[in-house]
Amino acid sequence: MRHYTYILLLLLLTMSCDDGDVFEVELLFDQELELCGDDESEFYLLYDTKLDPSESLTLKFPVNTATRAIFAPTDNLGEPTMLTINGNNTAFNYRTYDGDPEDLICQIIPEPGTTITNDYEAQAGAEVLFVSTFEDDDNDGIPSILEGRGELDENGLYSNAQDTDGDGIPDYRDQDDDNDNILTSAENPNYDEILGLVNAQNTDLELPGGDTIPDYLDADDDGDGVLTRNEDTDDEGISPLNDFDTSNGANNIPRYRDPNATDEYIQLESLVNQYTRRVFVDVTILQANIDILSIEPLYLGTYIGDAEPITEEDE
């Protein structure tokens, strides 16, 4: 996950008044962009607002196939998308207000004059550069980088990522890494920010037939030769697909953790996998050759989308 620490980044806009005087405005925005509009709207509006004094930076641009792609990247190459400010449907504004601008801001074409005290619009010609990337996460409690995600390939994808169970879903997107129908998050990987995964639960470590493979990567947790997915999770409620036995199991231990319980119940069905994708869009305004706003390349900020759920079947 990216982390931006632009706590007090000072940006300067040099502006000219109607009489030609130039003055400077300090812009102390947090550069965490928000979005109005969606793929079905007429316009997107990316914006940043602040109080004391109340100001906004807004970037309006039309919704079309090209701009929808800004919010739905298909790779992590970070290839830039460019739009040109045209003074018409693609506009960049700096506004000041006499109150909190938050309620006004999502009116794509606000009525000036009510609470907007100044409205400066970049003239045609400036360019906007968007760089879009995304992060997938199965939210199983283990950071993707520790699930063998590996490096991006030349296509901007993690095509060489580890896939422990060979189900076609790489571990970093797989909620059930060993395909035993028990979610990784329920197999106690015990990830620690400092220690990593050294304390991951391993049921069969000291059992006959056991191993050094942690449960979340071990398809046979008790080392008895019967796959966990074909044993019973008993009344632990740990897997809705692996409940075969109405008894409490021998020794009050669920069969999948009891090496002495070796009855096999064939389960061919697997849990449906769901992961989340979060999109990041870095926005920079290029080209200083504008009359009203004299800006060098201005890093406007980053829009961080919601973690959108994606469902996929294993192969």
Least Å from the CB of residue 126 to Ca ion: 43
Single out the segment in contact with Ca ion by CB under 5 A; choices: 33-41, 52-60, 99-107, 138-146: 138-146
Q: Please report whether residue 213 would count as binding Ca ion according to CB under 5 A.
A: yes
Nearer to Ca ion, 182 or 285 (CB): 182
Q: Please report whether residue 258 would count as binding Ca ion according to CB under 5 A.
A: no
Q: Shortest CA distance to 85 belongs to which of 290, 313, 244, 263?
A: 290
Size of the site for Ca ion (CB under 5 A): 19
Nearer to Ca ion, 113 or 237 (CB): 237
Nearer to Ca ion, 1 or 109 (CB): 1
Q: Please report whether residue 167 would count as binding Ca ion according to CB under 5 A.
A: no
Single out the segment in contact with Ca ion by CB under 5 A; choices: 9-17, 202-210, 244-252, 299-307: 202-210
Q: Please report whether residue 220 would count as binding Ca ion according to CB under 5 A.
A: yes
> CA 95, CA 183: separation in Å to the nearest integer?
50
Q: Please report whether residue 245 would count as binding Ca ion according to CB under 5 A.
A: no
Cβ atoms of 121 and 84 closer than 8 Å: no
Least Å from the CB of residue 304 to Ca ion: 22
Least Å from the CB of residue 306 to Ca ion: 21
Least Å from the CB of residue 9 to Ca ion: 36
| The binder of Ca ion chosen from 56, 58, 90, 202 (CB under 5 A) | 202
| Binding interface with Ca ion (CB under 5 A) | 138, 140, 171, 174, 176-178, 180, 182, 184, 202, 204, 211, 213, 218, 220, 222, 224, 226
